[in-house]
Structure 1
Amino acid sequence: MRALIVRGGWAGHEPVACTELFRDFLEGNGFTLHIAETLDAYTSDDHFDLIVQCWTGARFTEAQETALVDRVRAGAGFAGWHGGIVATGYEAPRYQFMVGGRFVCHPGGFVEHTININKTHSLAYGLSTFPVRTEQYFLHVDPTLDVLATTTFTGDHGAPETAGAVMPVAWTRRFGAGRVFVNTLGHSPTDLQVPPTRKITERGMLWACGIVPDHDRDH
């Protein structure tokens, strides 16, 4: 299997350090990795089973957007986390439709909040509610997402309009013959190394390319 990691954009999300955290995991699951630090990687003729994107603030050309969306619709897996997948491509409607959510704001910056797990989701086994201190992403989302995790906003931090909003944190999504996984956690390597956050991300990447997780290995 072949995986393409596309990383770049806003340096504050540490795209190199964050993606390097998963190198051993992906190689250990049989992937040959290809690293690209240009969005033109999407317009190449190479085949990839999985595309992992970590690029905050991307401005896709029409050719880049079309090539990426068509690849996923044809069967490639697409996965990513935090701003690298939902705070990017704002001018790219086909990309936005494929991903199923876009970042709006994170009231209060780094705040304590709770991540609730949807126990009925196929990737939820062994996971339970856990606390985090990081950005709580408020999004505009597609109502058809298959939601793995949520967080509930309190209306604090100068955003009373958000009170009671139950917001998706991680989700899976079928897109044509392809699969899309999004985890809005992962501002930094430290956030991604929180055990449940890392587990969710690892499982999501494997799900995106059609690998069924080994339940016994994860208990």
Structure 2
Amino acid sequence: MSYARRQALVVRGGRAGESPVRTTNLFLPFLRRQGFDVLVEDCLEVYEDKKLLAETDLVVQCWQGGDITPRESAGLRTAVQNGTGLAGWYTGLMNAFPEDLDYQLLVGGTFRIDPSETGRHRVRLAAGRADHPVLTGLTDFDADVVRYWPLTDPMIDVLATIGFDGDDSRPGVQAVPAVWTRTWGRGRVFASVLGAQPGDFDIPQVRALTERGLLWAGR
């Protein structure tokens, strides 16, 4: 008996040199092992291809900065609305198009303040969400991350947070979203602040979260 394979579209590029290529390359074999045929594109015009997006079960985006046209943005949003999954990490998803508010709402959040605090920080999994497919069997862990203050949609499902220590103006530790999911129409979106560099995925928990997020988002 044969089963129809699913289609994954990897959209990568932007202003960050080889980083989008190197990070997405880490997941191409995984997607193929999970039954996806993988198409890789290095231009955003692909979001205007309605037929291709309708046949795509998962879009993995790693686009480092730049602009997206209204037609491209609308094409991506419509595809997710109709059931195509969207997944990505770090600025390749969360801050790809900072001037496009509709895109930011689709993703569920965007980076707005960079406190320039790179270091090893605790990633805490959301209490009561241990049964979520992205989190099953995982526990809190430490990771070298760049901490950002994100603006997020209250309707996202936060799966993990990173804490900011208090100071004179903000007493106590403040937890901000680090990994979340959301639904958009019939589609699913997975977003993670982890993965600034390819080496970040050497941490088993970061790799597991990301791989599970890709599968969760896929139709």
CA separation in 2, counterparts of 1:162 and 1:135?
Answer: 21
Aligned partner letter, 1:52: V
1:5: which partner in 2? 10
Decide which moves more: 4-13 or 184-193: 4-13
Deviation, 1:180, is 0.3
Aligned partner letter, 1:150: T
CA contact (8 A) 1:65 1:95 kept: yes
* 2:137 aligns with one of 126, 131, 136: 126
Aligned partner letter, 1:191: D
Aligned partner letter, 1:68: L
2:87: which partner in 1? 79
1:146: which partner in 2? 157
CA contact (8 A) 1:13 1:187 kept: no
The answer as to 2:59 corresponding to 1:51 is: yes
2:33: which partner in 1? 28
Deviation, 1:177, is 0.4
User: Deviating runs (4+, > 3 A) in structure 1?
Assistant: 159-163
The answer as to 2:157 corresponding to 1:186 is: no
Aligned CA distance change for structure 1 residues 160 and 37 (closer, same or farther; 3 Å)? farther
* 1:113 aligns with one of 105, 108, 121: 121
Aligned CA distance change for structure 1 residues 193 and 204 (closer, same or farther; 3 Å)? same
SS of residue in 2 equivalent to 1:18 = helix
SS of residue in 2 equivalent to 1:108 = strand
CA contact (8 A) 1:89 1:95 kept: yes
SS of residue in 1 equivalent to 2:115 = coil
Deviation, 1:161, is 5.3
Deviation, 1:166, is 1.1
1:103: which partner in 2? 111
Deviation, 1:120, is 2.8
The answer as to 2:47 corresponding to 1:39 is: no
How many residues are paired up? 208
Deviation, 1:108, is 3.1
CA separation in 2, counterparts of 1:197 and 1:117?
Answer: 12
State the Cα deviation string for residues 46-98 of structure 1 (Å, max 9, x = none): 12000000002131101000000000001000000000011121221211111
CA separation in 2, counterparts of 1:175 and 1:191?
Answer: 28
| TM-score, normalisation: structure 2 | 0.89
State the Cα deviation string for residues 164-218 of structure 1 (Å, max 9, x = none): 32111001101000000001110010012211011000000000014xxxxxxxx
CA separation in 1, counterparts of 2:166 and 2:182?
Answer: 28
Aligned CA distance change for structure 1 residues 172 and 52 (closer, same or farther; 3 Å)? same
| TM-score, normalisation: structure 1 | 0.89
CA separation in 2, counterparts of 1:199 and 1:142?
Answer: 25
SS of residue in 1 equivalent to 2:67 = coil
State the Cα deviation string for residues 98-146 of structure 1 (Å, max 9, x = none): 1110012332342221000125331221111101122112101111111
CA contact (8 A) 1:82 1:184 kept: yes
